[in-house]
Chains A and B, each alone.
Chain A
Amino acid sequence: MKGLLKKDHILLKDYFFLFVMLDIAISVMIGGTLLLTQPEKAVMDVSRLAIISYVLLTMVQSLVNQTFNDDEKSGFLANAFTQPVARGDYVKAKYILALQLTGVFAGIHTIGIFIGLVLRKEPLPSDAMMLLAEIFIIALAGATIISFNSISLFMKFGAGKKRDRDQTYCCCTYDNHLFDLDNEYCKRQYRIEYFSACNSNSALFWRKLTACTYEFQMG
């Protein structure tokens, strides 16, 4: 499982820096403009909390989804399950990653909002620290719950079902077009070179195409 997390950390490194910058910018802006409606008192209503949680969730979700897409695109799951990795480890690793990212972004968010408050050049309201703590906890909890639910959905219908979907994938019947072999997805995923050079009128083509259909079904 540690290996899976390490892989995701490495692959997310580039995006992560960009997202951190973006998160800081948004947080400072929220802290400086949106949160305080009265100079002497920090006010946070439901809509503002929703904005904060939504920004946080978008950050975390985009990164976690990116890892799912990377796994799907590279066929990593087929490889991972030949290693000492159980399917449960893969699921756990995604949850832990979401938790780590939520924690990091909630922290950045809170600090960013604090910086925004300071940059207002007005005295900090007396309950500012309490407000920041609330933001951190509520944003963390909200983003965690929603991203965990989203991972569950992804595991049920997305890359996590790769193991079972392998059995039914069939490029030949892609889009109900039996011979649509030029489809990029087919080319990338499957070995089509065995019959692509055959003349479509020849018996050899038909024999190989039948074989190919089997091969595609088998993934």
Chain B
Amino acid sequence: MDALEIKNVTKKYTKFTLDNVSFSVPQGSIMGLIGENGAGKSTLIKAVLDLVNKDGGEVDIYGKKHDRNSKDIRENVGVVFDTLHYHENLNPMQISKISALTYKKWDEKAFSHYLEIFKLNEKSKIKTLSKGMKMKLGIAIALSHDAKLLILDEPTAGLDPVARDDLLDIFLDFMQDETHSILISSHITTDLEKIADYITFIHEGKVLLSKSKDELLYDYRIVRCGESDFIELKEEEGAVWRKHDYQYEVLLPTGKKLESKYSSCEMERPTIDEIMLMYIKGERS
């Protein structure tokens, strides 16, 4: 069963269109959403959460259609944005009281437990917390109402490596329950390499690829070659290339199978960053 299914979601703006985006997040998995700034990640997340009016398409969460009236569905969804959208004069204890009246399954003990893990004082006002602390508080809130699906919009943006690593550990801990799932968008692809099971790459409002991370990291190859090899390489299925001063760099989605064929070329496994850059800056036939 899919935790989240996005079907042909479309959102049109004057200069930008989120165009028929479809992909799904299988239950028990982490889907990483990548793309350059302005690619449409945040818009997609807002469309999924019904914070903007969609021009087309549907979003199913655990098999149920999600719209702005789906209060029951939202009981099972924890959302973390890149900033904490609570008034700065509130403290964690007050947020707990508010959330207890908002969520049917609000777990005060779990919340206190997370505050303890994150070393957050329950009486410290939000305005006194650092960016990392605020993110941790947002995650504590998202995790304390028995959410099964976490939707995270750049939760690690602006955090130092230690805080980022702490958060990634928390997400992995959340995934210990195999019914749990995460959709996480991030510019920091190294974070996604650590935790994601699947990667969806959005570019200019369209899904360029949506595959398992292993497939991307183990099947894809970047080939560096001269012009003579390039003529043959660019005809391979799905090839994307960039020309540098003295050589070509070619991304091959089926590169693993072609290793013996192009044994004379320098071939290596790409990182997600490299794949993203090739798709954004490269040429295709």
Chain A residues with a Cβ under 8 A of chain B: 2-7, 10-11, 70-71, 73-79, 81-87, 163-164, 166-167, 191, 193-195, 208, 210-215, 217-219
Contacts and interface: CB of A to CB of B under 8 A. Distances in A.
Contact of A214 (B16, B72, B98, B102): B16
A212 B38 CA distance: 6
B90 A10 contact: yes
B158 A193 contact: yes
B74 interface: yes
A86 B71 contact: yes
B48 to A, nearest CB: 10
A83 B15 contact: no
Given A79-B85, A211-B38, A213-B38, A167 B52 contact: yes
Interface in B201-241: none
Chain B interface bracket (under 10, 10 to 19, 20 to 34, 35 or more): 35 or more
Q: Is the interface of A mostly helix, strand, loop or mixed?
A: helix
Contacts of A85: 71, 74, 102
A164 B94 contact: no
Interface of B: 13-16, 36-40, 42-43, 46, 49-53, 68-69, 71-72, 74-75, 77, 79, 81-83, 85-90, 94, 97-104, 151, 157-158, 187
Please name the 10 residue pairs, one residue from A and one from B, whose CB atoms are nearest each other, closest first.
A211-B38, A3-B102, A79-B85, A214-B38, A3-B101, A2-B101, A82-B79, A84-B71, A75-B85, A218-B43
A218 B10 CA distance: 13
Contacts of A3: 98-103
A78 B81 contact: yes
A218 B103 contact: no
A81 B49 contact: yes
Contacts of B97: 6, 10
B52 A163 contact: yes
Given A81-B49, A82-B77, A211-B37, A218 B13 contact: yes
Given A82-B151, A166-B46, A218-B40, 19 more contacts: A2-B102, A3-B100, A6-B98, A7-B98, A70-B87, A71-B87, A75-B85, A82-B49, A83-B103, A167-B52, A191-B37, A191-B157, A194-B187, A213-B15, A213-B38, A215-B37, A217-B16, A218-B38, A219-B52
A79 to B, nearest CB: 4
A79 B46 CA distance: 11
A189 to B, nearest CB: 9
Contact of B68 (A86, A166, A213): A86
Contacts of A84: 71-72, 74-75, 102-104
Given A84-B74, A211-B38, A217-B15, A76 B51 contact: no
13 contacts: A3-B100, A10-B97, A11-B89, A74-B85, A84-B104, A191-B157, A208-B37, A211-B36, A211-B39, A214-B38, A214-B40, A218-B13, A219-B46
